[in-house]
Structure 1
Amino acid sequence: MFDVFPDDAGREAHLAGPVTQALLDAGGSVFAGAPLIQELDVLAGKLPATSSGEPVTKALLLTFKAKAGHETQVAQFLRDAQALVEQEPKTVAWFAIRLDDGHFGIFDVFPDNGGRFAHLTGHVPRELAKHSLSLLGSVPDIGMLDVVESMGQR
């Protein structure tokens, strides 16, 4: 699950709410282990133009560690990437995130594999590849995900 909120109060209200409690209560009866809840900071984002648009079915989760001492530059690179993503019509939503301990990531969703492929061959991955030796302390971990449900699909 990937949830974003306008502020800390919204995040805390959600964490104290029924969805989180249901996940924690299900624990080992449904999952192989207890759910890991990780708070992160959104550095930049592209939100869907409308909630009644094309349903999303595919997603990407890219995570990586910044090279030591380059965390500020990685955060700025991700903020700057928002302008490039705004030009991608098939990237429905995109979030540049700061995790913990120098780790960063990108989470984005698409209507189909074609949209995901267009993004993977677009400007942001090319720019990231250009700067990877100077900015990244690890090879990015890429997860190609299927979207089970989204708020816009209810």
Structure 2
Amino acid sequence: MSVKLGLLVRLEAKPGKEDALAAFLESGRALADAEEQTVTWYAFRTGRREFGIFDTFESEEGRAAHLGGEIAKALGDIAPDLLAREPEIRTTDIIAAK
């Protein structure tokens, strides 16, 4: 396996929606498991209202499939209710991995 690419997504929950966003992210694992080209998928919390997702891919095709997949659609559906602002999505190049 040779992961070369990633996505870093930063999310900010609306006040009072932190638990709902955390639950949404927990449920996203099942969707990520179904994506054959997503090598790793992490959901994390960095502060009271700050959350994130980091995933890795072996190819640009895998990353593009993920961006057009079920997790992205579900995130778009819940965004107006749970997020204080639009998700910040950054593509990354993996320099080293263990």
Q: Same fold (TM over 0.5)?
A: yes
* Secondary structure, counterpart of 2:96 in structure 1: coil
Q: Does 1:146 align with 2:89?
A: no
Q: How far does residue 125 in structure 1 lie from its aligned partner after superposition?
A: 0.6
Query: Could you tell me the TM-score, scaled by structure 2's length?
Result: 0.97
Structure 1 stretches lacking a partner, 5+ long: 1-53
Q: How far does residue 57 in structure 1 lie from its aligned partner after superposition?
A: 0.3
CA deviation string 1:80-104 (max 9, x = no partner): 0100100001100000101113000
Higher RCO, Cα 8 Å, sep 6+: 2
- Percentage of matched positions with identical amino acids: 37
Structure number with greater Rg is 1
* Secondary structure, counterpart of 1:138 in structure 2: coil
Q: Which amino acid aligns with 1:138?
A: R
- Partner Cα separation in structure 2 for residue 82 and residue 141 of structure 1: 20
Q: Does 1:128 align with 2:79?
A: no
1:87 alignment partner, one of 31, 34, 57: 34
Query: Could you tell me the TM-score, scaled by structure 1's length?
Result: 0.63
Matches within 5 A, 1:29-108: 54-108=1-55
Number of paired residues?
98
* Secondary structure, counterpart of 2:92 in structure 1: strand
Q: Would you identify which runs of 4 or more consecutive aligned residues in structure 1 move more than 2 Å?
A: none
Q: How far does residue 139 in structure 1 lie from its aligned partner after superposition?
A: 1.0
* Secondary structure, counterpart of 1:75 in structure 2: helix
Aligned-residue CA RMSD (Å): 0.6
Structure 2 stretches lacking a partner, 5+ long: none
CA deviation string 1:55-83 (max 9, x = no partner): 00000000010011000000000000100
